[in-house]
Structure formats: C-alpha cells, structure tokens
Amino acid sequence: MSADVPEIMDVTPDNIDKTGFFCYMSKKKAEGYQRKLQWLKNRLAEGMRIKLLKLPERGFIEYMPAEYAWRPVKADGYFLIHCLWVVGKSKGKGFGEILLDACLEDAEGSGAKGVAMVTSGKVWMADKRIFEKHGFECTDTAPPEFSLMVKKFGRHPSPSFAGKWEEKAMAFGAGLTVVRTDQCPYIVDATNTATAAAGKSGIKSRVVELNSHEDIMKFSPSAYGTFGLVLDGKLLSYHYLLEKDLLPLLEENRKK
C-alpha cells in the first residue's frame, strides 16, 4: 500500500488474542473486554468479520451475515455492519470510507445481496452521511432517530426493522430493566451505572441478557438491539448514560 493508504488487518480466530478488536485495548483484563472477546470468538464461527486499520492509525469495521447479526433487522442474504469507527488523529482522512469499501468488496465477493447498517448519528452509532456517499439508501426508520441504510447488489427485497418497539418495552413491566449483550465492551460499565443509579433513586432494577440474534429480534426494545434502558415499560435510552445524566432522567420520568 502507498504511504497515504493505511494497511488493513483482518481479525481471525487465530490472531484475535494478539490483535484484540480495537475497543478497550488498554483494559484487556477488564470484564467488558473479556466478555466481548469471548462473544467475538463465538461470532467469528458464524461469519463475523473485523477489519482493523494497522497502527498507528486507529479505526475498525465489524460486520457479519445479517441472519446472525445483533441488530433487530430482517435482512436475510445481506451483510450487516455493527460498527464503523475511526478515532483520534485518524479522523478526517477518509479512512472510514476505506474500511467501508473493504466491507462492500468482501460482501459482493461473498455473494451477499448487499450491505446494511443501522445509523443514528448519536452515541455509539455511525452517521448516515458516509453511507449516502457510497450509494446506500434508507429502507426503513425507527424511533427515536434510527435509519436503516442499505446498498443492494442487484434487485432484491429491501431489509426492514423488526418493529413492535413499544410492545416489547411494555413487556418488561415496572421498574428499570437493563437489556444488554456482550457486543460492546462498554456495556458492562453502562449496566453497572444504570443499576447503581436505580438504587439511589429507590427504583427496582433487573438485567435481561440477550444471547442470540433470535433474542435480539424478539425482545430488543429499540433498533440498536444490543443495549437499552426500559423504565416502567417505556424505552428510556438505548445508549450509555453517565450517572449524573441518568439520575435526573429517572426522577423526571417517574413523575410523569
């Protein structure tokens, strides 16, 4: 590769213990890292792909066949991207587009119908603009601000969200329910923060683990899929909240 184009490294079952998976690299002994590591080893057997920018550049893309993906999306035959993230001094150099191009090339070469990505432009999610530049189109939306961006390789049925978000949230009942997976290493801290805040607010809390694509499709109260806070049967947040932000939000919503 030229000096201007970063080398891309594939994470595999043979090298993942050495290469890691980008996130939490400075905290390999942490519970969040270890849980994500084991989760990834299981997912690699299902067709998960992770591509890392070689150091000193910092970025990665994580994707897999949608039939096994951990987003509540109906997209059989497509690849679905979980994460596309470029950080620090590597931002603004077009490296996100390079990673996305590598994913598209892989998907098309594998005979996939296309590639999909859930976007929101908010915490933990990529903005849809980079996908629009690559010919992706929005085929579905979900509250509060999710878009399902899709690029097809031919004429195929359009992917869609699983839906029934309010019904799924209501099923968790009273109190604070933390819906979680091991897809992101930050979820351990997010879960501990949420349950601690609930305790300080005098709110009963519980943690519900989603352990498969089928669980995500059936139980996730939002299009994010892998984490959610549900208060008294209503979605409170789908992303990490610091205690200082969560405590007033709990109080505000309990008064309604």
196 and 118, same structural domain? Answer: no
Average pLDDT, the chain: 93
Distance between CA atoms of 101 and 98, rounded to whole angstroms? 5
Range of the domain at 73: 8-161
Of 5-14, 90-99, 119-128, 202-211, least confident by mean pLDDT is: 119-128
Which element (helix H / strand E) includes 101? helix 95-109
* CATH code for the domain in which residue 243 is found: 3.40.30.10
* CATH code for the domain in which residue 64 is found: 3.40.630.30
190 and 244, same structural domain? Answer: yes
Is residue 96 within 8 A of residue 86, CB to CB? The reply is yes
Distance between CA atoms of 130 and 136, rounded to whole angstroms? 9
Last residue of a domain, one of 104, 135, 161: 161
Residue 124 above 80 pLDDT? no
pLDDT digits (tens, 9 = 90+) for 13-35: 999 999 988 888 888 899 999 99
Count of domains forming the chain: 2
Average pLDDT over residues 42-70: 95
197 and 135, same structural domain? Answer: no
Q: For 78, which DSSP code?
A: S
Do strands 146-152 and 160-161 pair parallel, antiparallel, or not at all (unpaired)? unpaired
Domain contains 1: no
Residue 123 above 70 pLDDT? no
What is the pLDDT, as a whole number, of residue 24? 81
> 116: closest CA among 147, 87, 162, 95?
147
Residue 2 above 80 pLDDT? no
Residue 98 above 70 pLDDT? yes
Which element (helix H / strand E) includes 191? helix 187-200
Is residue 229 within 8 A of residue 176, CB to CB? The reply is yes
